[in-house]
Amino acid sequence: MKQIVKELSMFIEKDGQRFIKEGKALIQTKRIEKKEGKLIEEEVFYNPAQIINRDLTVLVIDTFQENRQPITILDALSASGLRSVRFAQEIQNVKEIYANDLSLASLALIDENIKLNNVSNVKIYNMDANKLMKEDIKFDVIDLDPYGTVCPFLDSAIHSCDDSLLCITCTDSRVLCGPDTQKCFAQYGTARTKMNCFAENGLRTLLYTISQAAGRLGKAIKPLISFYGEFYLRVFVHVTKDKVQTHKLFSQIGNLFFCQSCQSFHVYPYGQKEDKGYKINKKPIPSKCEVCGSSFKINGPVWIDEINNIEFVKKMLTNLETRHTHFQTFDQIQGKLTGIINQNEVSSNPYSYNMTYLASNLKCTNISKKEIFAGFQSLGFKIAQCYLQVDLYKTNAPNQAIYDIIKTWKKIKYGENYLKSIQENTPAYTILTSETTHTPDFTFKPTFNSAKMFYPNLEGYGPKSKAIQRKIVELEEDQAIKKQKID
């Protein structure tokens, strides 16, 4: 843990107690109370891996509030109140913050953290978050940061949104991105195939589920920024009560016809825009992979529209560099935002390609980034690195052009040996022996913008157990320490 403390946060000692400083807030990690002759010690398991999530949230809300009346924020699952006390000190134009938690232990901690930070506009609530969100209070911002999935809170949250910002975390990345596809279908309604760009697929699955909950209540969503943090997914969506906008859903939701042999794919929207509104898609349905001849699997339904709003992200970057230079994760966030802006020309193409994996599919060693860009750009296609995962590229090139680039590269590098150790009747053989219709020029001088988008994980990075534990230190008796989860 030493490295994290040094790099990302700061412990402060005061009156013999230890506090953590994050952003502009100071929070208590321990709280000791004497009760019925026993010392009750409550401890917040502070998770430094989530600093970037909280910094990002402060920045998103502080950008969303611009040109609005003073805003009301609901921190629906507040735990220690850390988010609320940060919002109160780091976001402009805040009228009121509701810090809500069902756990009584949380309430005491939130209360102490409010006093510690001397903030006046944070109100504490002790309600079931779902009931609070059904209370017909209009929140400008709702932050939902649950353990696991957001699903149980989704409908109530949408109910409370009307021209509002909804900030959603899901920590069940095993379900949204990982092997638990059965649970993914049951809970999120999306059939997921195994693919390289699993982070984007997880985000598109989550956005699909949110869009459906919204559509049912006559509301539309617009994703402002989507973020993947390895063990969690985080999306920020603008929810509006706009029935006409919900009609657009017909073209924003679709299925991905995905080839598990060569990772080629086609995005097939359910609907298409016509003169008289949105109608069912009349385009031919792709059934077999045109690159390797394998059958497609159906990955969907998923959100196939933009997952970031470029204008909003640009404003975020400006605000980061002017108002939020104090962030502990300033560099990481600056890198991600720049990465999103850099991929803007190809961001309307959902999903991406892992060129290393595609090359290994054809049994050739890795193509350099420069050669990749040269190959695509010499053919007139656009390409950019994906900000979500290392080694992924977004492009407007069709599947066949992408494989033509790798094939051509292999033929140049391997000469007559390019079919060596490739077995007949395999997808690789089919691809390598099929006609090449694109001729990339690897001597082309490519242009690309760079941003440092990926940082190594810190020591101790990963999901933590629930935020608050209660240790009962029985002083009068045997001094044994019993741990009991209360949250």
Chain residues binding a copy of itself by CB under 8 A are 130-131, 134, 151-152, 154-156, 159, 181-183, 185-189, 191-193, 209, 212-213, 215-218, 243, 246-247, 249-250, 253, 255, 257, 268, 270-271, 277-288, 295-299, 301
Distance (Å, whole) CA 140 – CA 136: 13
- Burial label for 421, CB within 10 Å (0-12, 13-18, 19+), is exposed
Positive/negative CA dihedral, 17, 20, 21, 26: negative
Closer CB to a copy of itself, 258 or 393, in the complex: 258
Closer CB to a copy of itself, 257 or 418, in the complex: 257
Distance (Å, whole) CA 122 – CA 127: 15
Closer CB to a copy of itself, 164 or 299, in the complex: 299
CB of 213 to a copy of itself, least distance (A): 8
Q: Which long-range contacts (CB under 8 A, 24 or more apart) does 366-372 make?
A: 367/406, 367/409, 369/448, 370/446, 371/409, 371/442, 372/405
CB of 281 to a copy of itself, least distance (A): 7
SS3 content of the chain, % helix, strand, coil (to 5): 35, 25, 40
Closer CB to a copy of itself, 148 or 446, in the complex: 148
CB of 425 to a copy of itself, least distance (A): 18
CB of 249 to a copy of itself, least distance (A): 5
Distances (CA, A) of 284 to 254, 256, 265, 281, 367: 14, 14, 14, 9, 34
CB of 6 to a copy of itself, least distance (A): 42
Whether the Cβ atoms of residue 276 and residue 267 lie closer than 8 Å to each other: no
Distances (CA, A) of 103 to 26, 44, 130, 131: 21, 13, 14, 15
CB of 146 to a copy of itself, least distance (A): 13
Closer CB to a copy of itself, 154 or 313, in the complex: 154
Sheet of 161-170: strand order equals 122-125, 94-100, 71-75, 139-144, 161-170, 233-240, 220-228
Sheet of 25-28: strand order equals 10-14, 17-22, 25-28
Closer CB to a copy of itself, 215 or 339, in the complex: 215
Distance (Å, whole) CA 42 – CA 37: 16
CB of 124 to a copy of itself, least distance (A): 21
CA atoms lying within 13 Å on the CB side of residue 95: 12
Closer CB to a copy of itself, 285 or 486, in the complex: 285
Distance (Å, whole) CA 240 – CA 214: 9
Distance (Å, whole) CA 296 – CA 289: 6
CB of 4 to a copy of itself, least distance (A): 35
Distance (Å, whole) CA 200 – CA 178: 12
Closer CB to a copy of itself, 159 or 314, in the complex: 159
CB of 310 to a copy of itself, least distance (A): 25
